[in-house]
Amino acid sequence: MSHRATLKDVAARAGVSPTTVSLFINGHETVCSRDTAERIRSAVSDLNYRKGRSGPRPGAIVGLGLAHNVHSFTTSYGVHQGAQGVGTLGYSPAVNRVSTPFTVRTIGVAFSPACDIYDPNSPEPTNLASQIWQGASQVTDWDNCRLLTYPVEARRSTDIVPFLDGATSGVILIPGNDDPRPTRLAQAGLPVMLVGRSTDIPDGCGAVYALERDTVDLALGHLWELGHRRIAHYAGPTAGVGYADGNGTNGNYYEDVSYQPSDIAQQRVSRFQSWMKRHAIPNETSEQEALIFTDTSWRGENVEEALDRWFDLPADRRPTAIFCASDVLALRLLEAAQARGISVPDDLSIVGVDDSPEACKASVPLTSVITPGLQIGREAARLLLRLMEGWPASSCRLAVPVERIAIRQSSAPPKGV
């Protein structure tokens, strides 16, 4: 039996890495120079190389498109039809589409450990992450695309090799600030859409993120209207040391994770500081700094230390309300405060972010800013499709307004108001 040429055989003949060959033969021809491209083509021809397939590959004709009803689409997803059938999300579902062959592309989705919804060992599956997935799938469904998730080892690693195997035409990535993958993937020619990153966006990457000034303004504005003036902020990780290499014990991949600094946490701290300064409460910079506690992760592992700092302050400087950077932090704070005999909301009002399912189930239902996860997911998919079509990365970046807050029993006027 004759030997069938492999990807490694082609790479060895062309004098390049298997990753470069994989990207090139899957359509990312800008990954290498013209001379290198010619060597790869020659190696493919000389070795009579054929791509293996265990199932439908990206770009293959895999079936027949069934007729779609635009009215049912607009009713389900709230996308109205405009001129020539163009929806508000920027794509054009055809009216009475006939049964014709269509091309299926695959988009990869990789969430960071802090918001992972796929691994059963994930400590806090989030409603926001599932909303982002649902929003992305609504758009890709109409563009003949499928979504692919990566194994937990790939999602929590900084290795780009799993993303460059030719299985995907682009990737939606939710990274930490120090994550090197966005830059490396963009340099390799893979279209990358970042979610949650609003600063230090690498060249070649698109980005979709919530407008964090809206998030903070909604939370603080609500507490201000209730009469609170001494408001503290329980912040997420604004600094970190990168991902851990270990697998943890008992198969828990998250046990050893050292969370990366979060763009979202940094943005919320910055806006909190400017909001408080603008309202001149408190007046002294040192007092303002005392009202901010930054945790090392999104899990709230240092919540007791935060309470110690705030409730060791004199009574006239102690916060009457706390704005938490996420529902996870807020719920940990609520639980720890109640364990100390601190009544919520009589002694302390608490506001979170994300409006998670757990917010409604808490012993004191949690007031929470509603992050527009569905819209973020839709826009991430829509703009990634544009990036895949060759649009400039600078035109594939968008801030999504945050407009709603769910007011529940965890927030109330302070005593004496």
Measuring CA to CA, how many Å separate 405 from each of 3, 30, 232, 332, 353? 63, 45, 18, 20, 9
Report d(CA 371, CA 359) in Å as an integer: 13
More confident position, 315 or 32: 315
Q: What is the pLDDT of residues 37-89, one digit of tens each?
A: 888 888 888 888 876 543 333 333 222 222 222 222 222 233 332 322 223 33
The pLDDT of residue 385: 93
The pLDDT of residue 65: 27
Kindly give the interhelix angle for 212-226 and 263-278, rounded to the nearest 10 degrees. Answer: 40
Burial 112-146 (b: 16+ CB within 10 A, else e): bbbbbbbbeebbbbbbbbbbbbebbbbbbbbbebe
Q: What is the pLDDT of residues 265-274, one digit of tens each?
A: 999 999 999 9
Q: Which CATH number fits domain 212-372: 3.90.870.10, 3.40.190.10, 3.40.50.2300, 3.30.2290.10?
A: 3.40.50.2300
Q: For the chain, what are the domain ranges?
A: 7-47, 65-94, 104-210+373-400, 212-372
pTM flag (> 0.75): no
Assess whether the region 104-210+373-400 and the region 212-372 belong to the same CATH fold. yes
Report d(CA 391, CA 414) in Å as an integer: 52
Using the predicted structure, report yes or no on whether residue 386 has a pLDDT greater than 90.
yes
Average pLDDT over residues 245-255: 39
> What is the CATH T-level fold of the domain 104-210+373-400, as seen in this structure?
Rossmann fold (3.40.50)
